[in-house]
Amino acid sequence: MELLEIFASAGIWGAVLRIATPLIFGTLGALICERAGVLNLGIEGIMTFGAMIGWLTVYNGGDLWMGLVAAAAFGALFGLLHASMTVTLGLSQHVTGLGITLFASSLSYFIFRLVVPLASSPPTIEPFQPLVIPYLSDLPFLGDALFNQTAPTYLAIAIAAIAAYVLFRTPLGLAVRMTGENPHGAEAQGVNPIAVRFGAVMVGSALMGVGGAFLTLSAFNSFFPTMVQGRGWVCIALVVFASWRPGRALLGALLFALFDAYQLRLQAVLGKAVPYQLFLMVPYLLSIFALIVMARRARVPKALMQPYRRGER
Amino acid sequence: MRIERRAHRPLALVLLAPLIAIVAALAISGVLIAIAGAPVLEAFRLIVTGAFGTRLGFTETLTRATPLMLTGLAAAVAFRARVWNIGAEGQFYLGAIAVAAVCATVFSGWPPYLLIPAALMVGAIAGMIMLLVPLGMRLRFGIDEVVTSLLLNFVVVLFVSMMIEGPLKDPLAFGWPQSIPVGPDAMLPKLIDRTRLHIGLLIAVAIAVLVYFLQARSVFGMQSRAVGLNPTAAVFAGVPLAKTLIKVACLSGGLAGLAGAIEVMGVKGYVTTDLSPGYGYSGIIVAMLANLHPLGVIVAALFTATMFVGADSMGRALGIPSYIADVTVALSLLTMLVSIFFTQYRIRR
């Protein structure tokens, strides 16, 4: 059976991890924001900006890791903007987030065009190379399938573990979750909900920026407009699918990437008979499907999208 | 220092809010233009002359404002009822491709006075369906329609791409992926000869006025407003929630679908996947700049179109990426949100 043989190749499992990486970063970022009670629809734009600024840093002679740091820093800055508007002023999280997406993505196209004039083929950088892990990378099959990734992929998995630990095993995580469930109660316990929300949104947005930068610094080696292709919105759906839990976010992103990697290979097999656009629709339809399946079961943070003002109910 | 709600909203402030927002957005863009190394005042002058200075520029601005008015209205009526329709881009494209599908086939041979209204109707219905899907998922499963309507935008554009490379491909287009043309009989009459300006502009303005009266004077308008302000209270007062939301979705999706239909039948005559430079998304900005007021949408759409057309010619003249228009317009959404906030609240020491 040709369609199942695909799973027997090490290549597809390597591709799954590669496709999942930006989604893991993005989903964790959105998850952290939402755990504190703030929906961050700026994600699509922040990922675009991260992709652009990460690439630009390296293009101008910076280190690849400096590119990631720059993406994180600018992500946090957009997070600061989002938090100032939605937390301090209590503006609509939906509209503010969309505004930030539109602003951040158009700003990245503007800056990119300013630095790199229109050319037939966009300039490239030297991206992250697969990190060779002694022994593990040499394993037959498993080595190619799991241990032939670039460093940011391992980082993404580590951050999922750290996020799970911090959210559920530390006082800081408790403060974040309390703020997302009941900010008034949190305040009564001596937690400053405003500060927690600012922190969570900035950290979450930094992760979104890194997720975007992975696209230009590891998955590809150049930047082009619309390259994020709705991955941010997929992440927002994955957060619901994951029931706001980092471990399940990791699983969800991997599962999603598995479908995506499979459809990419299926295209090669069935490409003649089926229009390729149907395959490209799969990720988006899958996200919607995930929402339908999980929507009833998911436990939404109770104060999600509710602005908090001291002394106001 | 703390923020407190104003006892009443001063009318002067409400009317000034969009102006303040736009000036702030222009000021920030001015800084970006300066960083890009161009003379700022000259750049703004070129934007205005580019958008209004010539016959071509002026008609082009009005042509661009037409779909923006309709997608702006689509967002405005939806947001008023707290239906977060971010799917106008997809509704626009589905409306457009639906028109291309029917004009040369089912409706072929119809006289223009029947064909044009029928085709516009088909476009609107396609848009409606495209919004009823995410709204249905919200009502049935409780899924936030923001995410679903956003995700569906990508699905629709891929669907359009599939159609124009498949069953609706124009065989005479030398292999370019574009749809079969709607034909001369389906083209909207021009307002001014030898320009792109068509009567779609008048349709859009008329619809804005119509929507204004619908919202201000009809039961539906009152109900949709009540649902947006406080759904629980609205239900308690006897407003049928689901029914009202579905009506709102039909109106909003229909307007966005109509925008797509009018763009095809007014400007291009066929569908490509770059028919819309983000009209659906810009419509959200237009609606917010108008503070969700249907008549304000007309003005806000003109401003947005001015930025786009003007920045194009300014960019060519000064060598600045014309993306500056998108930046300014997106910024004006953010500054508008803040300036609307200060019509409702003030800062007290």
Q: Hey, what domains does chain A have and what are their CATH numbers?
A: 2-118+129-295 (1.10.3470)
A162-176 as b/e: b if 16+ CB within 10 A: ebbebbeeeeebbbb
Name residues 27-86 of chain B within 8 A of A (Cβ): 32, 36, 79, 84, 86
Phi, psi of B19 (to 5 degrees): -65, -45
* Inter-residue contact A87 to A72 (CB < 8 Å): no
User: Is the torsion defined by CA of A199, A200, A204, A207 positive or negative?
Assistant: positive
Residue A142: both structure tokens together: 């498993």
**pLDDT at residue A313, as a whole number:** 54
**pLDDT at residue B14, as a whole number:** 86
> B185 exposed, middle or buried (CB, 10 Å; 0-12, 13-18, 19+)?
middle
From residue B346, give the alpha-carbon distance in Å to each of B9, B201, B233, B292, B333.
10, 39, 27, 22, 20
Instruction: Name the amino acid, one letter, at A176.
Output: V
Residue A62: both structure tokens together: 């910076």
pLDDT in tens, A12-47: 888 899 999 999 999 999 999 999 999 999 999 999
Does the CB of B167 have a partner CB in chain A at under 8 Å?
A: no
Q: Where are the domains of chain B?
A: 37-320
Question: What's the CA gap between A288 and A309, in Å, rounded?
Answer: 33
Q: Which of B96, B279, B236, B147 is nearest to A230 (CA)?
A: B147
Cβ contacts below 8 Å, chain A against chain B, sum to: 120
Q: Which residue of A has its CA nearest to B149?
A: A288
Residue A88 to chain B, least CA–CA distance (Å): 9
Q: Supply the pTM of this predicted model.
A: 0.94
Q: Which of B278, B298, B277, B271 is nearest to B287 (CA)?
A: B298
**Residues sharing a CB contact under 8 Å with residue B200, sequence separation 6 or more, in sequence order:** B66, B67, B188, B262, B263, B265, B266
Question: What's the CA gap between B228 and A1, in Å, rounded?
Answer: 54
From residue B95, give the alpha-carbon distance in Å to each of A277, A296, B98, B128, B264.
19, 32, 5, 9, 9
> A4 exposed, middle or buried (CB, 10 Å; 0-12, 13-18, 19+)?
exposed
* Inter-residue contact A183 to A193 (CB < 8 Å): yes
Question: What's the CA gap between A253 and A231, in Å, rounded?
Answer: 11
Phi, psi of B83 (to 5 degrees): -95, 110
**pLDDT at residue A13, as a whole number:** 86
**pLDDT at residue A273, as a whole number:** 80
**pLDDT at residue B44, as a whole number:** 95
B57-94 as b/e: b if 16+ CB within 10 A: bbbbbbbbbbbbbbbbbbbbbbbbbbbbbbbbbbbbbb
Residue A114 to chain B, least CA–CA distance (Å): 6
**pLDDT at residue B175, as a whole number:** 78
pLDDT tens, per residue, chain A with 313 residues: 566 777 777 778 888 999 999 999 999 999 999 999 999 999 999 999 999 999 999 999 999 999 999 999 999 999 999 999 999 999 999 999 999 999 999 999 999 999 988 777 788 999 999 888 887 777 777 777 778 889 999 999 999 999 999 999 999 999 999 999 999 999 999 999 999 999 999 999 999 999 999 999 999 999 998 899 999 999 999 999 999 999 999 999 999 999 888 888 888 777 778 888 998 898 899 999 988 888 777 788 888 988 887 766 5
Q: If one looks up domain B37-320 in CATH, what number appears?
A: 1.10.3470
**pLDDT at residue A267, as a whole number:** 82
Counting every residue written for chain B, the total comes to 349
Measure CB to CB from residue B337 to each of A99, A230, A280 and give the nearest one: A99
Verify whether the Cβ–Cβ distance A281 to B285 is below 8 Å: no
This complex has an ipTM of: 0.94
**pLDDT at residue A268, as a whole number:** 79
**pLDDT at residue A312, as a whole number:** 64
Residue A293 to chain B, least CA–CA distance (Å): 9
Verify whether the Cβ–Cβ distance B326 to A295 is below 8 Å: no
* Inter-residue contact B284 to B74 (CB < 8 Å): no
Does the CB of B273 have a partner CB in chain A at under 8 Å?
A: no
Verify whether the Cβ–Cβ distance A237 to B151 is below 8 Å: yes
Indicate the angle between helix axes B279-289 and B241-263, nearest 10 degrees: 120
pLDDT tens, per residue, chain B with 349 residues: 677 888 888 888 888 999 999 999 999 999 999 999 999 999 999 999 999 999 999 999 999 999 999 999 999 999 999 999 999 999 999 999 999 999 988 988 899 999 999 999 999 999 999 999 999 999 999 898 999 999 999 999 999 999 999 899 988 888 788 999 999 999 999 998 888 999 999 999 999 999 999 999 999 999 999 999 998 999 999 999 999 999 999 999 999 999 999 999 999 999 999 999 999 999 999 999 999 999 999 999 999 999 999 999 999 999 899 999 999 999 999 999 999 999 988 887 7
Measure CB to CB from residue A89 to each of B159, B161, B341 and give the nearest one: B341
Question: What's the CA gap between A74 and A4, in Å, rounded?
Answer: 43
pLDDT in tens, A94-123: 999 999 999 999 999 999 999 988 777 788
Verify whether the Cβ–Cβ distance B152 to A233 is below 8 Å: no
**pLDDT at residue A134, as a whole number:** 80
